[in-house]
Amino acid sequence: MSVRRLADASVQPAAFAFNEANAAAARTWIAKYPKGREQSAIIPLLMIAQEQEGWVTKAAIETICDMLDMPRIRGLEVATFYTQFQLKPVGTRAHVQVCGTTPCMLRGSEKLMDVCRSKIHHDQFHTNEAGTLSWEEVECLGACVNAPMVMIFKDTYEDLTPERLEEIIDQFESGRGAEVPAGPQNGRTVSAPQAGLTSLATEDAVLMAKRAAGTQDAGKAGGGEVPPSNAAKPKTDAPETSAALATPSPQKATSGAEAAAAKKTAKVEKPSLDDPTRPAGIDKPATVDDLKMISGVGPKIEGTLHSLGIYTFAQIALWNDEHRAWVDGYLNFKGRIDRDEWVKQAETLHKGGVEEYVRVFGKKPV
């Protein structure tokens, strides 16, 4: 690991202070630790400072150490040890971290770095002339199956080609980074085989595999437990009648196959747009809320909500049981809206923004 030093004094601000929302978040983090152990909050507080300023300044380290009654040298030790902390100014619109570990290297990460050298700066840890972009090479980012990849702030962009990375950088540079879908960039579903699933492609196949393995929660056919497999048990001289009892009847097997076939061919249909339980939409207002602040809503889901005429927190805050059920079915979320408490999140954001969200949920909105 290279030596990590603070940025030159010429670019260091004279002072640092958390804004109101981040000050509340810092207090929440400090309260998580027992009395006398508040210094354990040093890492989350440094991360909050970095998210606010874009990088970790000397003034921020000193201010946080004073908050935690911690020797400043210990705060400097933490900040300079962990590479997640940026100790120099980075691009205000994108800081591109290119994974250069073996899987990504073998899949072309050096060409991705060449893109960064040509479009941002020849050297790492330098911004472009406008100060909007910067880049660095990092160690494993943890998605080796999807190599090569980069991370921009908190999101990863995988299965990249140099051409696709150029497009992504251009979108961030133009201020449209939020429109870039995170994850694989070649149509792959997370880390699934690129040509599609080759095994366990249906719920029925998964259930059969669990039955064969004898797992305890191997599924319940008709509400009854499926017994564990006897395949690994030693053979005994059990009466023939016992073996006969353990063998499924042909009638049941046929019935199960028919049910599986019917389930496989059944289509999940979206609820009708004309359904009276659909929440009312509105024309796009002059000011649109950032629905991605609701945990569980990403750029793609936000776009779908917009297509339904949902643009504000206030609209979502008014959803009743029927509205939530309709949207949940339309998105095929299987109860996720209630699990993630969209309505409560939207109501909180509508009422008091980020500060109220931190007060209610104990963290900043995503």
Taking 70 as the threshold, does the pLDDT of residue 304 lie above it?
Answer: yes
Q: 147: helix, coil or strand?
A: coil
Reading the block at residue 175, the tokens are 């201020």
Provide the pLDDT for residue 325: 92
Would you say residue 218 has pLDDT above 60? no
Mean pLDDT of 43-61: 95
Question: How far is Cα 281 from Cα 296, in angstroms, rounded to an integer?
Answer: 20
Position with higher pLDDT, 259 vs 354: 354
Is the per-residue pLDDT at 264 higher than 90? no
Dist CA 355 CA 91 (whole Å): 26
Rounded to 5 degrees, what are φ and ψ at 96?
Answer: -90, 120
Decide if 281 contacts 340 (C-beta within 8 A).
no
Residue 305 C-beta-side C-alpha neighbours within 13 Å? 25
Average pLDDT for 278-293: 93
Rounded mean pLDDT of the chain? 85
- Quick one: pLDDT at residue 69? 95
> pLDDT grade, residue 201 (50/70/90)?
low
Reply yes or no on whether the pLDDT at 229 is more than 80: no
Residue 249: band (very low, low, confident or very high) from pLDDT cuts 50, 70, 90:
very low
Report d(CA 6, CA 55) in Å as an integer. Answer: 11
Considering only CA atoms, which of 282, 294, 279 is closest in space to residue 326?
279
Give this prediction's pTM.
0.53
Listed residue (149, 139, 144, 138) closest to 186, CA to CA: 149
Q: How far apart are CA 357 and CA 334, in angstroms?
A: 25
**SS3 assignment, position 361:** helix
Mean pLDDT of 291-304: 92
3-state secondary structure of 239: coil
pLDDT value, residue 253: 45
- Burial-class residue 364 by CB neighbours within 10 Å (0-12, 13-18, 19+): middle
